[in-house]
């Protein structure tokens, strides 16, 4: 018996507004869409062609303790050369990189990770150059009774 593959659906462009949202909630939603788990033709061994546009990254809601304490570590490969960056410095310099790093950590650690991450587009403001693709907005809701403090 032959294995049948479902036909691929048309690619979707989805906009996520990050203003007032937490880093993890935006990253989880983006990673699930990039992976294709929201589609009926999902299969774990292939990439789906959906793109995610994350806007207003400068308005992320980050807890004050996390801003002062969280650090990103990177090792150069030499003994004793561990480089650290604080979340506060990274947020001032490039807030889009915070979302990119969070989504990168949530994607599966295999060959599909880099090709999935290429379909993530992060913008600090509310404008983007992808109007011709007719992206549809996606509202992120707070579930399970979790209440976020207003930022």
Number of structural domains (the chain) is 1
- Digit-by-digit pLDDT tens for the chain (151 residues) are 788 777 778 889 999 999 999 999 999 999 999 999 988 888 888 888 899 999 999 999 999 999 999 999 999 999 999 999 999 999 999 999 999 999 999 999 999 999 999 999 999 999 999 999 999 999 887 654 444 455 6
Helices (H), 11-132: 23-35, 64-69, 87-93, 96-106, 112-117
Residue 66: which CATH number?
Answer: 3.90.1180.10
* 65: Cα separation from own chain's centroid: 22
Instruction: Specify the pTM.
Output: 0.87
Range of the domain at 73: 13-138
- Tokens at 115, concatenated: 């090709």
Q: How far apart are CA 89 and CA 91, in angstroms?
A: 5
């Amino acid at each position: 018996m032959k294995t049948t593959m479902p036909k691929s659906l048309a690619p979707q462009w989805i906009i996520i507004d990050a203003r007032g949202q937490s880093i993890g909630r935006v990253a989880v939603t983006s990673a699930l869409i990039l992976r294709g788990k929201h589609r009926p033709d999902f299969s774990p061994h292939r990439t789906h062609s959906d793109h995610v546009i994350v806007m207003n990254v400068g308005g992320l809601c980050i807890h004050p303790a996390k801003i002062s304490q969280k650090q990103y570590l990177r090792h150069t490969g030499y003994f004793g050369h561990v480089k650290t960056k604080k979340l506060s410095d990274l947020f001032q310099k490039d807030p889009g990189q915070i979302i990119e790093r969070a989504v990168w950590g949530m994607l599966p650690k295999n060959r599909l990770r880099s090709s999935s991450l290429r379909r993530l587009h992060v913008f600090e403001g509310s404008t983007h150059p992808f109007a011709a693709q007719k992206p549809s907005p996606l509202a992120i809701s707070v579930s399970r009774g979790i209440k976020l403090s207003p930022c």
